[in-house]
Amino acid sequence: MEGAWEMATDHGAAVDGGMDMAAHEGTYSQFIELTKTTSFFVLNIVLLLVLWGLEGHGFLAIIGLILNFAAAAIAGLTGQGWKILAPLFALLGLACIVL
């Protein structure tokens, strides 16, 4: 039982451990941004499904899908990430409420 406690209190390996911390933090930051962008992309698709399936606006949903893919491509190429997809999310949410 004592060996488990020693392992839990050894924080030296987690702090540095010989890793390139700058590269690790950069990779982690990119992962978080990709996760945010993907989350907005998927939420936009959910709102498009609501527009098409529940509201019956298929043409608007197809236009929104094209815009969603275009915004995701622009977000990936420019590095702006979720900031490009967020306005589309707001517009689709408003369309789901109003229409």
For residue 32, tell me if it sits in a domain: no
pTM above 0.95, yes or no: no
For residue 64, tell me if it sits in a domain: yes
Note the pLDDT of residue 14: 57
pLDDT tens-digit readout, 4-51: 555 555 555 555 566 777 888 889 999 999 999 999 999 999 999 999
Structural domain boundaries enclosing 53: 38-99
Counting the structural domains of the chain, the total is: 1
For residue 1, tell me if it sits in a domain: no
For residue 61, tell me if it sits in a domain: yes
- C-alpha distances out from residue 66 to 14, 16, 69, 73, 86, Å: 44, 45, 5, 11, 15
Note the pLDDT of residue 2: 56
- The encoded tokens of residue 70 equal 């275009």
For residue 98, tell me if it sits in a domain: yes
For residue 90, tell me if it sits in a domain: yes
The secondary structure of residue 19, as a DSSP letter, is -
pLDDT tens-digit readout, 43-89: 999 999 999 998 899 999 999 999 999 999 999 999 899 999 999 99
